[in-house]
Amino acid sequence: MKKHLEVNNILSKMEKKFIGGLLTNKRARKKIVKKEVVTMLKTLDKQLVNISHPKKGKFIQWIIKLSYYIGHYGYNGKFKNKEDDKTLQALFNNYEKLSNTFTFMNLTAFSFDAESLVIYINQCLSYVEILIKKYLPQKSYEKYSTLTSNIVTPKFIVSVFENEKLRNEIQIIFDIKSSDSDKSE
């Protein structure tokens, strides 16, 4: 049996740092924005109840939040606060890597079959897309669609899992213990 350390605390810390960084600047953030964000996330969290795989929800939750902030605030210099702008720009630049990192984390109990992974991730993103389309204004949704349209391809998934350095980096980040099948020759 593969055993992995609990990742909820790591997710929580990342989430607090990310959300906290975006909402602390009074000049750029207003109370109404924070209220709107919290309300939306609570609504989306309720939707996650129907997801069967226990760790699937965490991946989708993060993508929803990341997508929401990118879609809501933009990613091209709309922040007045330079640190906020830098944070979001960095997230945008690493969006594909973040998406795959969380997918890798949630699929460690599955076989590393590229085709299966593509199907799985597309299902996740399809679900997210429905929610984003439902809750976000049209312009924000279009930004989200643009961001996610080229992320999940068989070539991308295969390239990630063939990249030993990236696999190791992901395992270190999330304290995922390597299984016997992960041993290199």
Domain ranges of the chain: 8-178
Q: What are the mean pLDDT values of the chain's consecutive 10-residue runs (185 residues total)?
A: 34 43 42 43 45 45 45 38 47 45 39 42 48 49 46 40 48 36 35
Rounded distance between C-alpha atoms, residue 160 and residue 174, angstroms: 16
Q: What is the pTM of this model?
A: 0.26
Alpha helices, H only, the chain: 8-23, 31-47, 56-73, 82-93, 95-106, 114-135, 138-148, 154-162, 164-173
Give tens-digit pLDDT for 107-141.
333 333 344 444 444 444 444 444 445 444 555 54
